[in-house]
């Protein structure tokens, strides 16, 4: 493990000792809880990487230094993204119910799909676009560029939750 991190065993996370915000590269992190803790998962069916001597994790959070302004940007734009996703999802549900008027089972089936899929994907996409346009990295982009996370990814860990 690099010197840039301290293992917090109780919280199963690596806490950064460096302060430079990895999202804007301008400001510094002021509080540990402002940092973004990226979940990193050990992939199944892969050789167990010995990462921390006596400690064996299947999932660990790696803290990415983040300044208060980038934290606020990420949090606010997550909310904006959800609102956009919700509006798109409701519009699609409206279209589906008009299109399948009289065919109630189709209307329900496609209505549910037409609600859930845009809600998740449009929300995520909208958040990403707004954050990137504001000139900083998204939570995920910042995590992917962080040397400790990159080292874990090279050893067979993943940022995506492995399917059971």
By the criterion CB under 5 A, which residues form the site for Zn ion? Answer: 21, 23-24, 27, 67, 70
Minimum CB–partner distance for residue 136 and Zn ion (Å): 6
Sheet holding 157-158, edge to edge: 5-8, 13-16, 59-64, 36-42, 157-158
- 22 or 42: CB nearest Zn ion: 22
- 70 or 122: CB nearest Zn ion: 70
Distance, in Å, from the CA atom of 51 to the CA atom of 86, rounded to the nearest integer, reads: 41
Minimum CB–partner distance for residue 153 and Zn ion (Å): 22
Q: If you search the block for the tokens 């008009």, which residue do you land on? A: 98
- 23 or 115: CB nearest Zn ion: 23
Minimum CB–partner distance for residue 73 and Zn ion (Å): 8
Q: If you search the block for the tokens 């400001």, which residue do you land on? A: 27
Return the percent helix, strand and coil in the chain, to nearest 5.
Answer: 50, 15, 35
- 27 or 153: CB nearest Zn ion: 27
Which helix (H) or strand (E) segment holds residue 14: the answer is strand 13-16
- 68 or 162: CB nearest Zn ion: 68
Minimum CB–partner distance for residue 66 and Zn ion (Å): 6
Minimum CB–partner distance for residue 4 and Zn ion (Å): 17
Residue 120 backbone class (left: φ over 0; alpha: ψ -120 to 50; beta: rest): alpha
Instruction: List the end-to-end C-alpha distance of the chain, in Å, as a whole number.
Output: 28
71: nearest Cα among 38, 16, 34, 39: 34
């Amino acid at each position: 493990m690099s010197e840039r991190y301290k293992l917090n065993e109780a919280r199963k996370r690596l806490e950064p000792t460096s302060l430079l915000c990895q999202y804007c590269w301008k400001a510094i992190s002021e509080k540990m809880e402002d940092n973004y803790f990226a979940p990193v998962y050990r992939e199944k069916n892969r050789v167990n990487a010995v990462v921390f001597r006596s400690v064996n994790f299947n999932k660990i959070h790696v803290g990415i230094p983040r300044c208060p302004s980038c934290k606020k940007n990420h949090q606010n734009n997550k909310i904006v993204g959800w609102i956009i996703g919700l509006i798109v999802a409701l519009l699609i549900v409206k279209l589906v119910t008009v299109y399948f008027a009289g065919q109630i089972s189709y209307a329900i089936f496609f209505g549910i799909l037409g609600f859930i899929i845009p809600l998740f994907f449009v929300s995520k996409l909208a958040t990403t676009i707004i954050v990137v346009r504001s000139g900083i990295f998204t939570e995920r982009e910042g995590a992917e560029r962080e040397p400790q996370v990159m080292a874990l990814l090279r050893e067979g860990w993943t940022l995506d939750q492995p399917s059971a």
